[in-house]
């Protein structure tokens, strides 16, 4: 359970922002930053660095863009050894500019990509790496990829400057055997100098156990979020992961306190966590967007009807 090389990244603001179009208040983000700083967690992901041309500001909140000056406003005056990361979608990089890392509040740039956009992802990673940032590539929707394409992408990444490559179960469709297989596949095709990460979604209530499976097979970068917040069913709960890892540097009380004071009130207004529509999309290896839209309707609890519609539309099962 304890391995010194393991690093934990909290994605509360970034993945949680997919629920509310990134409209978290400054006070909320600051309190999360304070709690994570006190807890001993390694990284906090502040949100996305998105193109304002491709993602108009009228549609999104601050954490869709994560301007350097805004991040400094949040962190100012709080003593912390917490490293900060920002995520960039490889297919939304128009007009993106990054200053050298020593002039930025960010330590890490994480590039989210599909296999088909790997060339774009690697170009961005190499550019950010040359500026002094730690870098990751998060391969999204991995449960939809075929192995020959995946191997080709991994062989490309092996030659890149990326530090960490993530197995991302975007649809919450994977079981432990598949996580084991993928982590071992990544390890086979990546040099020992590159770490492997896991990012799991909780459609089938397996995010925590699948993260543990990744740990067993030497994935050393682990994503989690406060109270499991994230799009649809959410992510591996940070508090569960901290309890499992038994790292003496971790302090759980600040995490439980910020959940009590910030997350519980928020859950009255926005919905996340295990629900049957997300279980259905996970079982059928589909994007949770259909479940998200269904939960906005008067038929939000018509589970059998939803299942039959999704099943028949996709030809699954």
Please name which of 83, 87, 134, 79 lies closest in space to residue 108, comparing C-alpha atoms.
Answer: 134
How many residues in total does the chain contain? 317
Q: Which CA distances in Å does 218 have to 91, 132, 160, 172?
A: 30, 26, 21, 21
Taking only the tens of pLDDT, the chain with its 317 residues reads 678 899 999 999 999 999 999 999 999 999 999 999 999 999 999 999 998 888 899 999 999 999 999 999 999 999 999 999 999 999 877 666 799 999 999 999 999 999 999 999 999 999 999 999 999 999 999 999 999 999 999 999 999 999 999 999 999 999 999 999 999 999 999 999 999 999 999 999 999 999 999 999 999 999 999 999 999 999 999 999 999 999 999 999 999 999 999 999 999 999 999 999 999 999 999 999 999 999 999 999 999 999 999 998 865 43
- Yes or no: say if 79 and 38 are a contact pair by the CB < 8 Å rule: no
Residue 128 is encoded by which pair of tokens? 């950010």
232 closest CA partner among 277, 198, 268, 200: 277
CB-based contact 122:157 (threshold 8 Å):
yes
Which tokens go with 97?
A: 């500019």
Q: Kindly list the structural domains of the chain, giving each domain's residue range(s) and its CATH number in brackets, ordered by start.
A: 7-266 (3.20.20.70), 276-314 (no CATH)
Burial category of 32 from C-beta neighbours within 10 Å (exposed 0-12, middle 13-18, buried 19 and up): buried
């Amino acid at each position: 359970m304890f391995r010194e090389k393991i690093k934990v990244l909290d994605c509360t603001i970034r993945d949680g922002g997919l629920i509310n179009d990134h409209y978290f208040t400054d006070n909320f983000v600051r309190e999360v930053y304070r709690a994570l700083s006190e807890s001993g967690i390694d990284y906090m992901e502040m949100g996305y660095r998105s193109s304002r041309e491709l993602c108009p500001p009228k549609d999104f909140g601050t954490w869709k863009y994560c301007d350097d000056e805004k991040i400094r406003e949040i962190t100012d005056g709080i003593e912390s050894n917490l490293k900060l990361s920002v995520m960039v979608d490889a297919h939304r990089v128009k007009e993106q500019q990054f200053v050298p890392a020593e002039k930025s509040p960010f330590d890490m740039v994480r590039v989210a990509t599909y296999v088909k956009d790997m060339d774009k992802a690697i170009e961005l990673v190499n550019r950010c790496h040359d500026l002094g940032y730690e870098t990751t590539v998060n391969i999204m929707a991995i449960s939809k990829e075929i192995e020959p394409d995946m191997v080709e992408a991994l062989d490309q990444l092996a030659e890149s400057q990326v530090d960490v490559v993530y197995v991302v179960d975007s649809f919450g469709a994977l079981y432990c055997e598949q996580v084991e297989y993928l982590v071992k596949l990544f390890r086979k095709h990546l040099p020992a100098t590159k770490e492997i990460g896991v990012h799991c979604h909780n459609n089938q209530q397996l995010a925590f156990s699948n993260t543990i499976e990744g740990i067993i097979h030497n994935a050393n970068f682990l994503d989690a979020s406060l109270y499991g917040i994230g799009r649809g069913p959410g992510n591996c709960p940070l508090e569960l992961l901290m309890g499992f890892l038994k790292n003496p540097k971790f302090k759980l009380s600040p995490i439980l306190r910020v959940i009590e004071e910030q997350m519980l009130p928020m859950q009255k207004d926005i919905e996340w966590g295990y629900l049957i529509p997300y279980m259905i999309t996970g079982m059928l290896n589909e994007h949770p967007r259909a479940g998200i839209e269904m939960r906005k309707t008067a038929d939000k609890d018509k589970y059998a009807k939803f299942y039959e519609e999704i099943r028949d539309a996709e030809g699954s099962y």
